[in-house]
A and B are shown apart, each in its own frame.
Chain A
Amino acid sequence: MYLFAEQLLNGLATGATYALISLGLALVYGVLGVLHVAHAGVYMAGAYIGIGVYSVTGNIWLAIIVSMIVCGFIGVAIERLVYFPLLKYPPYVPLISSIAIFTGMEELVRLVAGPSVQTFSLELPFPSFDLGGIHVSSNLMGIYVITAVVFFILWFITTKTETGLAMRAASQDMPIAGAMGIDSRFMVDFSFFVSSAVAALAGILVGIYYNTVSPDMGAIPAYKALALIVVGGLGSVPGAVVASLSLGVAETLLIGYAGIPLPRDALAFIAMIVVLMWRPQGLLGKRG
């Protein structure tokens, strides 16, 4: 029973980090309709910048903030220099360029920081506690609290503010939104900035949670996150979050109890194909 509860809590933390990656991807897809594989490159870069700043200053909050801002600008740069000029071409063109950027980023980090795995060991400054024999570590608490805060802020921005309204308008129809006086270009930049910053945060949290940071840490999330946003309904941010949390829990429980012979990384794709056969538009996607 205790083991089950602990597995559930771990699964929830894994799901939360998936959600931080895939919600940005869903946001970006909603705005530009680009499958942003390089998002995982930003996530990996975020973890490296975080570890770099932390090792110099020793302050994890400073590391998180610096990494989020720098990665936000990396995201905007990718959008401005590559995706936006390529929008007029068929979707495989931005997709392939995105994969090329991702590979390039991985290789660059490998050359600069070395191919070896680096450890990122610290305790996040959150309380840890035992609840009737179930131990919740401070890092686990940190992931829950930080993710919840990020979800709340994003929910608030996108649904309660004018910026959020403009963002949604731009993602519906950019030219019309532009005609209505919305600076669509800025909204696209803003979406990329926010989602890349959140991806950087996810990178740091995953680095701390698993205690390791490596150049190829983005490889699995890159494609898993694609499967997740499809399951959630392409471009649907709540869908991506729901799909991520359920996958995190399902993975951990299935590996822990069912002992299925397939690797956990293939699970997301099997779930995706099952869901797509049943609902081709994804769980929370719109028909059409």
Chain B
Amino acid sequence: MSYIITVATFISIQAIVAYGLNIIVGYAGQISLGHAAFFGIGAYSAGLLATKAGLSFWAALPLVVAICAVIGIICGLPSLRLKADFLAITTIGINFIVESLFLYVPFFGGALGLGGIPRVVFLGNKLKGGEFLTLCLLFLALVMFLSWWFSRSWMGLACISLREEETAASSMGVSPVKFKLVAFVLGSVIAGIGGALYAHQMRFIAPSDFGFPVSVMLLSLIVLGGMGTFWGPLVGAIILGSLPELARPLMEYRMLIYSLLLLGMIRFQPQGLLGEESVVSRIIGRHVGGDRS
């Protein structure tokens, strides 16, 4: 049972981070392949604030959000000047640089990682197992609400219009600079919150937890679920999060199966499971109808 709770906790943290990425990629249409960097920045700032400054999770959370927002603005600046492929590679670069800073700067614990992160305390009791899962699910619900609200708000609509046709949108008075940055920062902050939860769940973090493969995994997760859809990140996180656990007997072949699955998925169903024109959404559309975006 505790095994299932651990897996569920990971899935919900992954889903939180994926919702952040979905805002950047799905709504604002900026390809980010370095999302794990922000996940890591959140985790490391939460970890350092807890171990070195002795702050509680709740006291550190606003600081984590502020740190991720500031770094998000700095890292978001290239995205204003660069288009599609240039941006994708720059974000890979950001990921590599952030990971190597964690790895080479002794303050961050270096290759040994950062240990001794305490559990989250709420009303005097330490949250673990199912209680911590509940906390993660609450945060997930909050992030999902934020994401839903964003996609309906004028900011979200502005982002979507920029994604669809930047020139036309900016001629209508939608500022590409402002809204791309807003989306990037919001996405980074959400990833940072996920990172803070991750740090307190693992209680030990290492640079490799936030490397480029993690960014790819996060991106494949929202591609699988359906980019720019409301339920996409959640569905993707549940499928990709539980699949490796179900395939454990096939340990040796796990990564191969995983990559073949991703390849097959993106080759034959690039819209994702829930995207427009996908198999699932057609089936749901036939039976339920109505708007599900």
Contact = CB atoms under 8 A, between A and B. Distances in A.
Interface string A82-94: 1001100101110
A266 B81 CA distance: 22
Given A234-B86, A273-B78, A97 B267 contact: yes
B100 A95 contact: no
Given A96-B219, A100-B263, A111 B256 contact: yes
Contacts of A103: 216, 255, 258-259, 262
A34 to B, nearest CB: 9
Contacts of B81: 276-277, 280
A99 B103 CA distance: 24
Interface stretch (B90-98, B136-144, B174-182, B196-204): B90-98
A240 B223 CA distance: 30
B223 A96 contact: yes
A92 B216 CA distance: 11
A280 B255 contact: no
Interface stretch (A64-72, A158-166, A257-265): A257-265
Given A97-B266, A104-B263, A276-B78, A111 B253 contact: yes
Contacts of B84: 91
Contacts of A277: 78, 81
B31 A91 contact: yes
B260 interface: yes
Contacts of B88: 35, 91-92, 95
B267 A85 contact: yes
Contact of A276 (B82, B253, B260): B82
Interface residues of A, number: 38
Contacts of A35: 85, 88-89
A90 to B, nearest CB: 8
Given A111-B252, A111-B253, A96 B220 contact: yes
Given A101-B263, A273-B78, A86 B100 contact: no
- Measured as residues with beta carbon below 8 angstroms from the partner, the interface class of chain B is 35 or more
B86 A270 contact: no
B204 to A, nearest CB: 22
Interface stretch (A140-148, A190-198, A223-231): A223-231
A151 interface: no
A27 to B, nearest CB: 15
Contacts of B212: 223
A134 interface: no
Nearest to A81: B267
A108 B258 CA distance: 12
A276 B90 contact: yes
A183 interface: no
A111 B81 CA distance: 43
B270 interface: yes
Interface string A266-288: 10011011001100100000000
B262 A96 contact: yes
Contact of B89 (A108, A226, A266): A226
Main secondary structure of the interface of A (DSSP, over half): helix
A39 B282 CA distance: 36
Contacts of A33: 85
Contacts of A189: none
B81 to A, nearest CB: 5
B97 A280 contact: no
Given A227-B93, A266-B100, A91 B85 contact: yes
A269 B262 CA distance: 27
B220 to A, nearest CB: 6
B25 interface: yes
B213 to A, nearest CB: 8
B267 A82 contact: yes
Interface string B92-111: 11101100100111000000
Given A96-B266, A276-B78, A226 B92 contact: yes
Interface string B211-229: 0100010011001000000
Given A101-B259, A270-B97, 17 more contacts: A29-B85, A35-B85, A86-B267, A92-B223, A103-B255, A104-B259, A107-B256, A111-B256, A226-B89, A234-B85, A266-B100, A269-B93, A269-B94, A273-B90, A276-B81, A276-B90, A280-B81
Interface of B: 25, 31, 33, 78, 81-82, 84-86, 88-90, 92-94, 96-97, 100, 103-105, 212, 216, 219-220, 223, 252-253, 255-256, 258-260, 262-263, 266-267, 270
14 contacts: A82-B263, A82-B267, A93-B266, A93-B270, A95-B33, A96-B223, A103-B258, A104-B260, A107-B253, A107-B256, A223-B96, A226-B89, A263-B100, A269-B92
